[in-house]
Structure 1
């Protein structure tokens, strides 16, 4: 190669300047902002469902026994903290210990639901859920979890989860937790073993579905 040809070639510094000339700074993704956006949609869902529900009957039922309202608080907090954990674990560099965030309210939800089944008295004016009633509850949780899960996956595409299985499982728990919470608007039944089993199966199914189908999306 002649000296003239060599002199025409750009130096390393010039090459780097050319490659980076049109680059723009990347705005970092805010996990808190994404989680807040998802929760805002949940609030809109809640407002719509509340407009069709008998709120006075719901409040009477929930306040008739501590296990009823504590289970509702547990499911709501599980959904809120699970979606926060999902977005926190989706950002590279964040600790996987964020996945432990929804575990305390999840334990409260499970414990108080079980205590409702072991309660020695029935709520006044409220009957136990039959098999058909529990089937409707199962369908409600699964059906409402579907749009919430899809929205969550869309928002997660703005991030770069290095542990998609963990993130998606947390997202499924968030969707199922909020769906179970909103079910209280249309759940005029006392706690029962069959109802608890159907709820648990629905939540587990949503978590597994998010894990399996979401993995294909991120792949």
Structure 2
């Protein structure tokens, strides 16, 4: 057998059992798919919201800006997570949520500095625990969905990608909390929110990072 024939036979043996891999959609489309799930959850929860209190809270400038910042953070962090999950993409995408997150944090902090509050939004016993339960209860399923979607890619920095996913999930949960938030911003309330958000990001970075680091799941 001649040398070229042997090479062709070897190539045929190596690729004979391979199946074509379906390429993943663009990161933007995958991020939009996850955000659509967040929107669907919002539609399900909205009938239970306190619409009268929502109008009062959104009438307060810093609360309105904080809600906008949280929503923009969820969008930016989700897009950054999907982009960084693709090998070869610049890690600078991880900086995308920085500006909206600063807006979210800064506007939330203003509620602790001013001496007046939104009408009918006094802090009541048990409210802080309810906010914590809501943030955790919404963040966890959104995180699981996001990690499952990210596993189809092959992130070279799985912990970073997973942490961005955690930020997206936590910010989305904070945005969805606005219609249910029973009181104006206080130092205690802000601290509970911060601890919860950081906990979600850290859990995603560790647990989600391990799952993403096990390799790609193409076609699954």
TM-score (norm 2): 0.90
Q: 1:1-219 alignment to 2 at 5 Å? A: 11-21=6-16, 23-29=18-24, 30-63=26-59, 65-127=60-122, 129-130=123-124, 132-218=126-212, 219=214
What's 1:3 paired with? none
CA distance in structure 2 between the partners assigned to 1:97 and 1:36 by the alignment: 20
Instruction: Using the TM superposition, name which of 24-33 and 188-197 deviates more.
Output: 24-33
Unmatched segments (≥5 aa) in structure 2? 215-220
Q: Secondary structure at the match of 2:48?
A: coil
Q: Secondary structure at the match of 1:11?
A: helix
CA distance in structure 2 between the partners assigned to 1:124 and 1:56 by the alignment: 10
Q: Secondary structure at the match of 2:49?
A: coil
TM-score (norm 1): 0.90
Instruction: Using the TM superposition, name which of 31-40 and 155-164 deviates more.
Output: 31-40
CA-CA distance at 1:25 after TM superposition? 4.3
Say what the alpha-carbon RMSD is for the aligned residues. Answer: 1.9
How many residue pairs are counted as aligned between the two chains?
Answer: 212
What do the CA deviations read for 1:121-166 (whole angstroms, capped 9, x no partner)?
A: 2222221x24621121112111111100000111011100100011
- Whichever of the two has the greater Rg, that structure is 1
